[in-house]
Structure 1
């Protein structure tokens, strides 16, 4: 009897999938870029990237669907000094590879994926799983291998649960890499409040401190992360984001990390609208659970102004208070018929503490100019 019921269930599921609407899409993004940074040993940089993407979807009844995405990062670049020296780099690696089931109030996604949450935009304590650099107009980031489930309540609250495995690279503002042979796990609960929302997050991983300089060397260091963030719209946007990271081995000042961000944004009625975002980050590192013996402050701001339908200006500033270092990045974007062009002058100090540097986008010090052309198909 049980076998007959199981057989009938499989037949009904197969019939439902057979009747379902299927959708296959192939697109991609090709980019060519180059930059000049006179203060660097190899001042010229040139390269290209292509990310082809295949999407397959099956729409079932009652708002349910299966979706699959696969994409590859194909990139090559060279730093060089004309007629003197050059350093080449090339890479082909998976960029996204996941399958997802969605229902009316639930989503489950497994594979190589992007996981991103939090309310901060420039200095991000909760950037636990990606490498998004605010200065990168393409917002590229490596993914993580894992399983993510999300449930959405009718009052707009939602809960996230995840498990990760096989990820070893440092992410966000990590002080150390991850021990890839141990699973990671955690969750997040987000709840609506008057004029905004507030959320609690937790994550456990096993860190690897062997890549740290002047710190005890441990292959496996259990680590717990606690996050709290909230955002409100009270005429201007206001938010805060805090993360506390505790390692269960004594790593000196790196045993505990506390990062606190406060920020605001407002769009002024100037011309077509000038949007201003400002954030301040306090970072503390200490051997004690709640201590700030090693403390630093960073202030960041961005201004964005649309010149029209096809042109856009934006700029990002960072200021590191203890070192008095200043970072500047300007971006002029123009939409052509099938292409997008970027002109990006910048200035970066040798060490950019507290700023997420995406290893998919080269970071150089001193003044410079970067040009990029992007084609999406």
Structure 2
């Protein structure tokens, strides 16, 4: 079904291009990609040693048009494999190949139309994001990987720097963002976002509608095939002496799901670069989140705080540490990454010291295995 959808997208885009006046004055094909290898040691895991590799080949095709128009296509695969080992007793091997990005786009100076498997993200927060609706980017991940969503996206940029987003998603049966109930993949999702400049910054309002299917989590909430759900998000960022922002979201289910009928979350954050040495960049955020049968009731709210420190060591080395704190469990989650860049090659040495009973909102990729205490080495080659 998804392959047929992409063929339709390609054919539609090609047909639209052939009807444009002025013709193409330049075509270009670009091959690039990323190869990653890592080794991981965590004595608390069932398999203390993990090794793995990832290969993401990518091809882009561009057609430059008259009047600043452009048609371009992108296709990439995510090929990953890893092995967990408990030397010398046992091992566990896993691997998969999946589409990573497949999209076609038309754009000019003010308009962008993109359809296919793509990444959609927005918002002002960077560590604890209420508006993480369609991606699952972990701020600790040097690769910033996330699965895409199938759909279409339109973005229009006004002359006063305001911009309007409209999207339609279809055929996405995997959990996205903060979701714990899958979407009904046979029913389209849709939404939009309007962002505008304000004094000393910018502000935006976002909306999304989908129909969820809770039959897969019936042990937790009522089993219902079609649950209309509406999301409303707001965010604003200001830059005056320091950067500071607010980001919030309200998710409402139209069916009675008990305490999961409403989800509310609010993030407050600041950032500043201190003039120490090469410059110490600091990001601090606090997240309040709550679930309840009634909207905007915070009787059982949960608080998380996050702090990120980033310091460049010379031209090629960088040191970054991220700390999360769960106020309910009174537990710290600690992460540090030293990275070194050699042109197209990057080396990351990561260490973490976290509780064994991992209870963070952010769910890391399987190969990161951030529960407990461990060390990970990652070599990245971009070509």
- Does TM, normalized by the shorter one, top 0.5? yes
SS in structure 2 of the partner of residue 270 of structure 1: coil
Q: How does 1:288-303 map to 2 (within 5 A)?
A: 288-303=294-309
Rounded Cα–Cα distance in structure 2 between residues aligned with 1:174 and 1:10 = 35
* Mapping 1:221-370, distance limit 5 Å: 221-359=227-365, 361-370=367-376
Q: C-alpha distance in 1, partners of 2:229/2:173?
A: 14
Structure 2 residues not aligned, in runs of 5+: 1-14
TM-score, normalization: structure 1? 0.94
Q: State the 1:49 CA deviation.
A: 0.2
Per-residue CA deviations over 1:84-118 (Å, capped at 9, x if unaligned) read: 12221110000000000001210000000000100
Post-superposition CA distance 1:204-242 (Å, at most 9, x none)? 111222333422122221110000000000110000100
Which of 181, 188, 209 is matched with 2:186 structurally? 181
In the alignment, the residues of structure 1 paired with residue 110 and residue 170 of structure 2 have an alpha-carbon distance, to the nearest angstrom, of 26
Match of 1:190 in 2: 195
Would you identify which runs of 4 or more consecutive aligned residues in structure 1 move more than 6 Å? 9-12
Larger deviation: 244-253 or 78-87? 78-87
Equivalent residue of 2:203, what SS? strand
Cα distance, 1:352 vs. partner? 4.6
Taking only aligned residues, the RMSD between alpha carbons, in angstroms, comes to 1.8
Q: CA deviation at 1:339?
A: 1.5
Residue 94 of structure 2: aligned partner: 89
Match of 1:114 in 2: 119
- Where does residue 148 of structure 2 map in the other structure? 143
Query: Which 5+ residue runs of structure 1 have no aligned equivalent?
Result: 1-8
TM-score of the superposed pair, with normalisation by structure 2: 0.92
- Distance in 1 separating the partners of 2:17 and 2:352: 61
Greater Cα offset, 324-333 or 215-224? 215-224
Offset at residue 359 of structure 1 (A): 3.3
Report the count of equivalent residues.
368
Asked whether the equivalents of residues 82 and 367 of structure 2 are also in contact (C-alpha less than 8 Å), the reply is: no
Structure 1 CA distance for aligned equivalents of residues 61 and 377 of structure 2:
34
1:215 corresponds to which of 218, 221, 225: 221
What's the offset of the Cα at 1:170?
1.3
| Counterpart-to-counterpart distance in 1, 2:211 and 2:355 | 32
Deviation at 1:365, TM superposition (A): 1.1
Secondary structure at 1:365 match in 2: coil
What is the rounded CA distance, in whole Å, between the counterparts of 1:136 and 1:332 in structure 2?
12
Judged with a 3 Å threshold, the aligned counterparts in structure 2 of structure 1 residues 53 and 12 are, in CA distance, closer, same or farther, namely closer
